[in-house]
Amino acid sequence: MKRVLILGANGQIARVAIDMLLKDTNVKLTLFLRNAKRLKHIAQNNNVELVEGDVLDKVALKLAMDNQDIVYANLSGNLEAQAKTIVEVMNQTGIKRLIFISSMGIYNEVPGEHYGSILDPYRKSASIIEASELDYTIIRPAWLNNQDEISYETTQKGEGFKNASASVSRKSVADLVMKLVSTPTLGVHQSLGVHKA
């Protein structure tokens, strides 16, 4: 049984990923979010535990990380502080595998675009994670849509972002998350841009 802690479990990508991951009976999910009532409909599943808390609360986060194999973070808000806390608590608990959702454009890799300071929280959080000794994968999706399709390709850090003008489905990003959970050695120490195929 693979144990996955999902931080920001009520996020739009996370909710799609949860649905996909629950089709795998060999996965146990701990869903960590500020308001657990939002996901109470999922709590009836035997492979789900709901935990209410804030990622910046190190005590709550450490309790949630107990006995986990993988941490998947799908967050908004103070990303820099959240990334620092996640790395610190993962180091304390000995968990190595982190999947972290960020944004395209953090390396100025989108041709013809310079997103400036709006992406600073994403840049800073990615830098913290990349400087860690964790087995991380950073996911940098294009603009997102709710299409019911899986159609995407990836680029590596250092490569130009492809097809940035087209939005990619949340289901596509969730599919990549699912693949990374299923094969924990996939994408380690990589920052993957995700664009519509």
Q: Which residues are 195's β-sheet partners?
A: 153
- pTM here? 0.96
Give the C-alpha separation, 52 to 88, whole Å.
20
Give the C-alpha separation, 189 to 134, whole Å.
8
Total domains in the fold of the chain? 1
84, 128 Cβ separation under 8 angstroms: yes
Q: What is the pLDDT of residues 52-89, one digit of tens each?
A: 999 999 999 999 999 999 999 999 999 999 999 999 99
Give the C-alpha separation, 72 to 194, whole Å.
16
CATH number at residue 180: 3.40.50.720
136, 188 Cβ separation under 8 angstroms: yes
Give the C-alpha separation, 133 to 131, whole Å.
7
Give the residue numbers spanning the domain of 160. 2-196
The tally of CA atoms less than 13 A away on the side-chain side of residue 138 is: 26
Q: What is the pLDDT of residues 1-54, one digit of tens each?
A: 999 999 999 999 999 999 999 998 789 999 999 999 999 889 888 899 999 999
